[in-house]
Structure 1
């Protein structure tokens, strides 16, 4: 354990730059260094936040810019040296916990439920197929040792939710596709990390394949059960607790998520599965200040991503990247993208069949991000022979193939015909929660392409209980009546009970797509809109 003690020459005359910390290993740090770290950290964070806008404009996940920022700050750039794989391992896992917690807290169970079978299949059957293909390819095609080949297959089999959804936000897809990708990225970390730990420590060789498979199933199953228990306990506790400040609720929710991970790790179960499931339960429970909690978790997750990616960039030594590393990374990436990933997706579809076009898109959308690079720090920390080479290969693979597949996802969705036509771009809907009355405020913009132009408010036939409260037209506010005619460029404020939000949004989209004819799509206006095909 690291021993730290504060020592100041005169406690009554402390100057910030004179107070020092002395570590047990004899190293000394003063407060001036801390000031420098805070200055550099805040500047890097602000640059990283601005990079989000830049990455969205060019269609690339922001993680690439963060990784490159880390490389620029490292030994080949500004000269910062960071080579502690154990620290990188610990900080990386901590960041992944926060990222997975945010993923669960911001996911709607209604969107995820229809795709859960496919997501679980991708996280289990898909991972097994991908690991097998990459292991055989790594050994027989690229000449790597069996241990490094299995590790290469394991670390590259995990997809990254942050990488996938930073790109998919601009592509309207059926919920069964987004749900499957999100469930996969939230659950496939669990079996993958168990496999990487077993291979890195050599325990897999001692216990055999059957015992290893049983351990993975045990850890995943117990992690899911534990996550459910902690999630429902947290929902029950916070739903009946009157905390003195609203800002405490997000902290409490996040603490329950971290508790799920810590408990899972303590009992040798999958902490990653536990934290994601617990966050999913908490995020879909009727808790106070849910909007504040989700916003807080998104901010924490962004901070974790920035720190994680910059740290991984610092860990890279560009001097080690030669033509052989690049060639191995390109070969492994091609094998993963065009062989292992498609085979894993189509094998997973045995459990939950999908049309071939959608399976092809799922194959292309399996982006790898920080997760594979973080997992390579496990063999690095354990001192596995060839671990540095594995880290370099995976780093180059992630950067190159994220740049290849990320910007092409929107085109691929249109080419395969999986872009969701029932969610037209001509109608923009944003939502804000009204927590005190269990309702949502929808802001709807009618663009020049919308067929809602010329429709009267009464002809919208929104579900009973939902209504248009205000129309903003040319900067002026209009309180609508049933005969008020909607126009291109109008912004509508629609209030709807939370339980009717989905039905209200679907009805607005139907009218935007079909105009007045949409009134015939529902035979009984009291029942709300007819279901819309995805």
Structure 2
């Protein structure tokens, strides 16, 4: 009976979280606030559900963060992030160090707390949040370089802060020095990146050479490979979150079977992780204690927003010749979300004397940041001139191996605005052996011939030999970008079939 009640409650919470996404889209309220509100509503101040298991929250929160980072890496295009990966690494290390130092100094001077408590406060709020960054920025038409820089920073800067918080609240605080902490961070991050790359590389080749009996097994296998990197890195003493983010990015940019189905599955898992994480954190909060932490939260929040974050952005981006208006946007777009609250559970679990105050301050900070920063970002993007016109969708090709036939089935939809619109089948000039088998248009299946003209929204199914798959995808993308004249833009046409 208790199990049925628990399942009923979890199901209702999940459905409420799904409905909250639509409400937030219509009302313009960030969805994570609604998730926190759901947790508060069913907690001690609402329906009276008592939940104080900090250790379980920390464990589930870490797993949820792993899912969010893995999905974020999978949906990140390497071609877009590659030009800014170095700068993102600087912001995720040096920038975090500057932000933590300035925020901790403000907390120590103004709040009259000891050095250890001030450093924990500064470290907990020092990193930007991947879940908040991905969910907010990917709906905004801003310059791809800025969006990629902020997304990469949010993915890279969580592991260093987690390591720092863990060291400061542990017994190692009495013996560790800044050089030891810095060396530990570099070691764990480097090893985490290497493990993520190695596991993802082997996983990619395994998936490409496997013909599984069901298409639904490919998304499961892909997620399992990501968590294999996560667990391997954790067992090796490396950064598990860095490993799963790097593994997700590698797999997301690899040529995997049923990639679109995997992307949809990972996106659903990401939403589930966000809903569960924020509801859980809302359950853990105690509204009766929050008013006492309001003044401290205001001081730390103002210092972080208007001093620490702008200083860290200026220090990290000035050498890269980032214009001042873009620095202003980067400073304001340092979104905080689930990560600071999850990190705030670490000192509570370790029994730090001021841990409960730290948790309440961070909880209020996240709510304030979400209420103020996220809704004003579109306005600031327009004021600073970092918005761009919407661009046509990129051609996404999904492949499925036909093991015994030594061939692949390629399926894709002609995006709206693509140069493929109006192109005749005879103008595709596909590689030898590749054949356009079916066109799905307006709920009808068409058998194409050389006189068939493609249209936006068409779904195409091609049969392609294994050795011609890559050339076929490159040819389709080239025509999607440049139309029939792709050859004049540097595209080498594939040999015409005999």
TM-score of the alignment, normalized to the shorter chain, above 0.5: yes
**1:465: how far off?**
6.0
**Aligned residue for 1:89?**
58
Among residues 250, 253, 257, which one is paired with 1:288 in the alignment? Answer: 257
Superposed CA RMSD: 3.4
Contact residue 257 and residue 399 of structure 2 kept, 8 A: no
1:354 counterpart SS class? coil
**1:65: how far off?**
0.7
Q: Are 2:135 and 1:166 aligned?
A: yes
Q: Are 2:5 and 1:41 aligned?
A: no
C-alpha change, 1:122 and 1:34, in structure 2 (3 Å) is same
Counterpart Cα distance in 1 of 2:416 and 2:352: 56
Counterpart Cα distance in 1 of 2:451 and 2:142: 33
Counterpart Cα distance in 2 of 1:443 and 1:138: 54
1:202-221 matches, within 5 Å, as: 202-221=171-190
**Aligned residue for 1:13?**
none
Contact residue 219 and residue 270 of structure 1 kept, 8 A: yes
C-alpha change, 1:457 and 1:471, in structure 2 (3 Å) is farther
**Aligned residue for 1:441?**
412
Among residues 46, 68, 73, which one is paired with 1:104 in the alignment? Answer: 73
C-alpha change, 1:60 and 1:258, in structure 2 (3 Å) is same
Contact residue 429 and residue 442 of structure 1 kept, 8 A: no
Q: Are 2:375 and 1:375 aligned?
A: no
**Aligned residue for 2:224?**
255
**1:188: how far off?**
0.7
**1:155: how far off?**
1.2
**1:94: how far off?**
1.1
1:448-463 matches, within 5 Å, as: 457=422
1:146-185 matches, within 5 Å, as: 146-185=115-154
Counterpart Cα distance in 1 of 2:207 and 2:415: 33
**1:482: how far off?**
9.9
C-alpha change, 1:311 and 1:182, in structure 2 (3 Å) is same
C-alpha change, 1:491 and 1:257, in structure 2 (3 Å) is closer
Q: Please identify, of 364-373 and 499-508, the stretch whose mean Cα deviation from structure 2 is larger.
A: 499-508
Q: Are 2:493 and 1:524 aligned?
A: no
Among residues 434, 451, 474, which one is paired with 1:499 in the alignment? Answer: 474
Residue segments in structure 1 that go unaligned for 5+ positions in a row: 1-31, 509-518, 529-534
C-alpha change, 1:503 and 1:414, in structure 2 (3 Å) is farther
C-alpha change, 1:51 and 1:504, in structure 2 (3 Å) is farther
Q: Please identify, of 220-229 and 190-199, the stretch whose mean Cα deviation from structure 2 is larger.
A: 220-229
**1:353: how far off?**
3.4
C-alpha change, 1:386 and 1:438, in structure 2 (3 Å) is farther
TM-score (norm 1): 0.79
**1:315: how far off?**
0.3
**1:240: how far off?**
2.4
**Aligned residue for 2:158?**
189
Q: Please identify, of 168-177 and 184-193, the stretch whose mean Cα deviation from structure 2 is larger.
A: 168-177
Q: Please identify, of 390-399 and 143-152, the stretch whose mean Cα deviation from structure 2 is larger.
A: 143-152
Among residues 366, 376, 383, which one is paired with 1:398 in the alignment? Answer: 366
C-alpha change, 1:327 and 1:104, in structure 2 (3 Å) is same
Counterpart Cα distance in 2 of 1:117 and 1:159: 17
Query: Once the two structures are superposed, what CA deviation does each residue of 1:233-287 show, in whole Å capped at 9, x if it has no partner?
Result: 2112222233333222222221221121222222221111111111111222222
1:113-512 matches, within 5 Å, as: 113-322=82-291, 324-350=292-318, 352-421=320-389, 423=390, 433=398, 435=400, 441-445=412-416, 457=422, 492-493=457-458, 498-499=473-474, 507=482
Contact residue 470 and residue 493 of structure 1 kept, 8 A: yes
Contact residue 72 and residue 245 of structure 2 kept, 8 A: yes
**1:445: how far off?**
4.5
Query: Once the two structures are superposed, what CA deviation does each residue of 1:476-531 show, in whole Å capped at 9, x if it has no partner?
Result: x9x999999x9xxx9553869543676556558xxxxxxxxxx9xx9936749xxx
